[in-house]
Chains A and B, each alone.
Chain A
C-alpha cells in the first residue's frame, strides 16, 4: 500500500532534549516536505527536499533540521526543543510539481 509513515504519533518531551521524528515513504517520490499545523495558522512548511542530499528552508525553519540521505526517508530533527514548537507535525511527499501531496498520519508533539 502506498503510504507515508511517520513516527511517533504522539511525543511529550522537555525543553532542550533532542528529538527526531521519522518519516518514510514507499512511493519513490523525489519531493518530501515537513509541515506544522497550529490552530488558525493552517499548514506551514518547515523544510522540503527536492531529492537526495537536496534540502531547503520553508517558511518556518528556525529550530529545526532535516536530512535526506536516502530517497525514502526524511527525518525532522529538533536539536533543542522549546515550548513554542508544541504542534501537530505532518510529513508529506509527492511525485512531481503538479502531483497531489500524500501526508503521513501526523505527530503530535508537546514540549514542556
Chain B
C-alpha cells in the first residue's frame, strides 16, 4: 500500500540554526499538505502544495514539492523556540480514494 516516510524522526537544533524535514512517498501524490503539532496540542494545517516543483514560503518556512510529486520538504530558516513541535506531511492519493497518508512526523526541539 501507499506509504509516506518522513525523516528525521527527531531533530534538536540550537536557536538560530536551520532545520529541514523530508517526506518521501512510495507512489506519486496528487498534492501534499503540511501540519504542525505543538507539544500537547493537535495538528494544525500549515500549507498545501499541488503542482510539480512548487515552492511556497511562509515567513521563515519554505515548502517544496518534488518534480515527480513523490517527495516534499519543509525548511525553517533561523529557528526560534516557537518552532518547537512535530511537523507532519500528509500526501494525497491519486487513486480517487480521497485519502491522505500521514508521514511519521519529525519532532523538532529548539535549544535556546
**A86 on interface, CB distance cutoff 8 Å:** no
Residues in B with CB closer than 8 Å to A102 are 45
Residues in A with CB closer than 8 Å to B102 are 35, 42-45
**Contacting pair B88 A103 (CB below 8 A):** no
Mark interface residues in A31-48 (1 if CB within 8 Å of B CB, else 0): 100010000111111001
In the complex, what distance in Å separates the CA atom of A50 from the CA atom of B43?
21
**Contacting pair B45 A40 (CB below 8 A):** no
Of the four ranges (under 10, 10 to 19, 20 to 34, 35 or more), the interface on chain B belongs to 20 to 34
Residues in A with CB closer than 8 Å to B42 are 90, 103-106
The 8 Å CB contact of B45, one of A41, A44, A101, is A101
**Contacting pair A103 B105 (CB below 8 A):** no
Residues in A with CB closer than 8 Å to B9 are 40
**Contacting pair B98 A43 (CB below 8 A):** no
Residues in B with CB closer than 8 Å to A59 are 1
**Contacting pair A41 B100 (CB below 8 A):** no
**Contacting pair A90 B50 (CB below 8 A):** no
In the complex, what distance in Å separates the CA atom of A40 from the CA atom of B10?
10
The 8 Å CB contact of B43, one of A97, A98, A101, is A101
**A6 CB, nearest partner CB in chain B, Å:** 9
**B60 on interface, CB distance cutoff 8 Å:** no
Looking across the interface, which residue of chain B has its beta carbon closest to that of A96? B98
**B48 on interface, CB distance cutoff 8 Å:** yes
Tell whether A100 pairs with B103 under 8 Å between CB atoms, given A42-B88, A43-B43, A106-B42.
no
**B104 on interface, CB distance cutoff 8 Å:** yes
**Contacting pair B98 A50 (CB below 8 A):** yes
In the complex, what distance in Å separates the CA atom of A101 from the CA atom of B48?
11
Residues in B with CB closer than 8 Å to A101 are 33, 35, 43, 45, 90, 100
**A97 CB, nearest partner CB in chain B, Å:** 5
Residues in A with CB closer than 8 Å to B105 are 42-43
Residues in B with CB closer than 8 Å to A90 are 42-43
Which residues of A are interface residues toward B (Cβ below 8 A)? 31, 35, 40-45, 48, 50, 59, 90, 97-98, 100-106
Query: What are the nearest 3 A-B pairs in CB distance?
Result: A100-B45, A42-B104, A43-B102
